[in-house]
Chain A
């Protein structure tokens, strides 16, 4: 099973700051990595698929990068509505999710 490790566990930033979230895979997943946003009481929402492609309707401040084992989700300018837990998911070998990074506003 491919294990996805996300860091940091919690990220606390001020509005307007840049948020950088990391997802590391235990073996190469090529570009088969996605990012989701989950707000309290809601289902996950697909943000990015195949490492860098924004899903339909996702604001341009969200971007993804990386390949192989190291991936990054960047929020270029944090908005209050971006407070959520962010998960990565790989689809290279079966389907597994990372443990999540919680983004808070200072």
Chain B
């Protein structure tokens, strides 16, 4: 049974970079043609798609986040990661990783989710 688990520091200072990792178990990222995504949820903005990537490194991200987002994959560890630079209090949220339901399709719904990890931006 496929499971996803987010990890990362719970507290980040303003202007620094938030780094999160999603570890996939029960299945292989490289053996799959799915896209893997990051979604966040804050009280002020609800659910917001951050970006998605496939095992080869092809990625798409929300244009509203401009160039602050980097998504990468480490197939040897069966993990994918999110880096969000120049964070502000507005980036405080619960961050989820999730699997895109349909293979080879970056524009997807998400059928398997991690439990989420809270990231707080504060000095």
A residues near B, CB below 8 A?
1, 32, 34, 42-46, 49, 55-56, 87, 89, 91-92, 94-100
Contact = CB atoms under 8 A, between A and B. Distances in A.
A91 B109 contact: yes
17 contacts: A32-B107, A43-B114, A44-B96, A44-B110, A46-B109, A49-B109, A55-B101, A89-B47, A91-B109, A94-B62, A94-B63, A95-B52, A96-B49, A97-B46, A97-B47, A98-B46, A99-B46
Given A46-B109, A94-B49, 8 more contacts: A43-B115, A44-B96, A49-B109, A55-B101, A91-B107, A95-B62, A97-B46, A97-B49
Given A43-B116, A46-B101, A94-B62, A55 B47 contact: no
Interface string B83-123: 00000000000001010010000011111011110000000
Given A1-B64, A44-B47, A87-B47, A95 B107 contact: yes
Contact residues on B (Cβ < 8 Å of other chain), bracket: 20 to 34
Dominant SS among interface residues on chain A: loop
B113 A95 contact: no
B16 interface: no
- Of the listed residues B64, B110, B111, the one surrounded by the most CB atoms of chain A closer than 10 A to its CB is B110
B5 to A, nearest CB: 11
B111 A55 contact: yes
A94 B111 CA distance: 17
A100 B46 contact: yes
Nearest to A33: B109
A100 B44 CA distance: 12
Interface in B34-92: 46-49, 52, 62-64
B94 to A, nearest CB: 9
B109 A34 contact: yes
A97 B48 contact: yes
A94 B107 contact: yes
Contact of A46 (B46, B96, B111, B114): B111
Contacts of B64: 1
Contacts of A32: 107
Nearest to B105: A91
